Chains A and B, each alone.
Chain A
Amino acid sequence: MADLSFHTPDPKDFLDLRSELSDEERLLADTVRSFVEDKILPDVAEWYEAGTFPRELAKEMGQMGLFGMHLEGYGCAGTSNVAYGLACLELEAGDSGTRSFVSVQGSLAMFPIWKFGSEEQKQDWLPRMASGEVIGCFGLTEADAGSDPSSMRTRARRDGSDWIIDGSKMWITNGSIADVAIVWAKTDEGVRGFIVPTDSPGFTANTIHHKASLRASITSELVLDGVRVPDEFVLPGVASMRGPLSCLNEARFGIAWGVVGAARSCYETALEYAIERHQFGRPIASFQLTQAKLVEMMVKVNRAGLVALHLGRMKDEGRLTPHQISFGKMDNVRNALEVARIARSVLGANGITLEYPVIRHMANLETVYTYEGTNEIHTLVMGNAITGIQAFSP
């Protein structure tokens, strides 16, 4: 055994988590990382300020294989779940909006077609979505149905061999730039998923303005006013809330990983800043209070990374439950948010400008804290699991 007493761990990978990855996983993570360094980081502050996301990036992302990467067949790359997680991590180290773009396309729009769609639907949509030619969105939430999506009011009724959909959806990522929407609606047969081309008559998407979080991502309201789709556009495989919820499980898994990237970016920025920035004639990293902050962030980033990796390996072994995904979503997001806030304080005034990534991550993580099941809802999912008592409603 080598004498390790004088060996200092890598400040950027304290627990050497990289060594837990296969060669292939490391190469994949490095590839996404250089994509983010080349294509996202140079411009993301501008997109954030302008409130846009460059849709053109979709082609290049598709070419790499980012969309639906952990799905098999139909032009998808078919990677492991850990690989999918690593990609989310590296993307979100760029911006939560970029990761959201990929999550929505892969886990929320492609996954339901892949899982519940007919063979024709899969062949028709998945290859075009995998390549980034077609962009999808996922319409579940409504203005009055957020944490309790089963209270949705959007309805679809049969009309001959067609369906007519009426209602509206709120807070829909990619809504106004999507070519196709997966819309969940109540029917006489239960909650069903519809593949709705966004150029269907009666369909409109209105971009939501004045967001102060996740600005480098498009969020929209969808209005469906008597939208008519043929029966072939209904997902045949599910007619209950299990449909949308299983999509959310996929995306939440990616979030548990993604936020580790956002937290890593904040921690690394703060570490570098604290070493360079001098006050009272010394680097601010030399103050005990600052060191405590840096260590707190480092520990949180590594711990969240461990949780994500563990969940990933379990998912690859086919034994990860939704409750365990809630563990990752709830705990990793709140930790990432705390890391961002601590990093923000370390940067002082510079912490509030978009010159540094920290305030952007911090504001983004407020969205991540809420979407895909709020922190509270995941707490109650786990509360239910350990007590056997559900506390969502009386």
Chain B
Amino acid sequence: MQVVVCAKQIPDPATPYELEPDTHLLVRPTEQILDDTDRYGVEMGLQLAQASEGTVTLVSMGPAGNMQGIRQALAMGADKAVIVDDPSLRGSDALTTARVLAEVIKREGFDLVIAGTESTDGYSGVVPQMVAELLGVPALTYATAVTAGDGSVTIHRQTAAGYDIVEADLPAVVSVTAGVVEPRYPTFKGIMEAKKKPVETLSVSDLGLEPDIRQKVVSVEPAPERQAGEIVEDDGEAYLRIVELLEKVKVI
């Protein structure tokens, strides 16, 4: 099975994020890490590919930098990577990103595309569905478990109450939640071999695309200070107020 995993490089969340003052875009350092969300996608892809003697191709969009994040995924075991790095994609919106990814995925060929549900730095949460639509294949989203084989894929789709079992014929796109599988650590041999694996860097013109970014960040405001909470004094009936509050936030 030919598996494509969408993987994004992001600035290490352990370091403070910086925004460019005029564009409000995230400043991306040369060294970025593999988005933690995508470690799950990569692991899922590796497990499915290994079970079927298939391959895993990473597809990524964004400033390549020193490729540390991509190399991390290659060190885990992915076979090759294609990264689209083009200054005209700065500030790309979800649809543009999906167009670029879908174009590369089409070129590479695929039975199954795996993506995280949303990136840790962007949080749009719609790219996998858009990619599926552009590829004209089913989107199976929010997977907490994935099995594939015999021309079809089955997932457990996370719901508020539990999960739905969703099945589709391949080819298809699956978005996986964190925890779908436990990501492996790159092995030291993998780390040393990662350097020798093929990584192709493309521009948008290589793909014959013209980016049409419709979205602009108009302004950025600091998150509002948290309001002081309500202190419920227990006069013997406090539980009533607490139940009421819990119902209001819909946890009970």
Query: Interface size bucket, A side?
Result: 10 to 19
In the complex, the answer to whether B186 meets A27 with C-beta atoms within 8 Å is yes
Within 8 A of A (CB), among B164-196: 184-189, 191-192, 194-195
CB neighbours (8 Å) of A79 from chain B are 188, 192
Contacts of A78 in B (CB 8 A): 189, 192
Contact of B68 among A23, A35, A63, A69 (CB under 8 A): A23
How many A-B contacts are there with CB distance less than 8 Å? 51
B33 nearest CB neighbor, chain A only = A30
Cα separation A60 to B182 with both chains bound (whole Å): 13
Q: Residue among B72, B185, B189, B192 with the most chain A CB within 10 A?
A: B185
Interface check B75, CB cutoff 8 A: yes
Pairwise interchain contact B185-A27, C-beta atoms closer than 8 A? no
Q: Is B215 an interface residue (CB 8 A)?
A: no
Q: In the complex, which residues of chain B have a beta carbon less than 8 angstroms from the beta carbon of A63?
A: 184-185, 187
Partner of A77, one of B33, B187, B195: B187
Min C-beta distance of A37 to chain B, whole Å: 11
| In the assembled complex, A350 has its CB within 8 A of some CB on chain B | no
A31 adjacent to B186 (CB under 8 Å) = yes
Interface size on B, residues (CB 8 A): 18
What residue of chain B has the Cβ atom nearest to residue A26's Cβ? B68
| A156 interface residue per 8 A CB criterion | no
CB distance from B67 to the nearest CB of A (A): 8
Q: Is the interface of A mostly helix, strand, loop or mixed?
A: helix
A83 CB-CB contact with B under 8 Å: yes
* Min CB–CB distance A329 → chain B (angstroms): 24
Known contacts A23-B71, A27-B72, A27-B75, A69 near B188 by CB under 8 Å: yes
**A64-B71 in contact (CB<8A):** no
Q: Pick the contact of A27 from B68, B184, B189 — CB < 8 Å? A: B68
Q: Which residues of A contact B192 (CB under 8 A)?
A: 24, 77-79
Q: How far is the CA of A23 from the CA of B192 in the complex (A)?
A: 10
Q: Mark A41-76, 1 if CB is under 8 A from B, else 0.
A: 000000000000000000010011110010000000
- Check B147 for interface membership: any CB of A closer than 8 A: no
Q: Which residues of A contact B188 (CB under 8 A)?
A: 28, 31, 64-66, 69, 77, 79, 83
Interface residues of A (CB under 8 A from B): 23-24, 26-28, 30-31, 34-35, 60, 63-66, 69, 77-79, 83
Given A31-B186, A31-B191, A34-B185: 15 more A-B contacts, CB < 8 Å: A23-B71, A23-B195, A24-B192, A24-B195, A26-B68, A27-B71, A28-B188, A28-B191, A30-B72, A31-B185, A60-B185, A63-B185, A66-B188, A77-B189, A78-B192
Binding site for A on B (CB under 8 A): 31, 33, 66-68, 71-72, 75, 184-189, 191-192, 194-195
Q: List 16 A-B contacts (CB under 8 A).
A: A23-B66, A23-B71, A23-B195, A24-B191, A27-B68, A27-B75, A30-B33, A30-B72, A31-B191, A63-B185, A65-B189, A66-B188, A69-B188, A77-B187, A77-B188, A78-B192
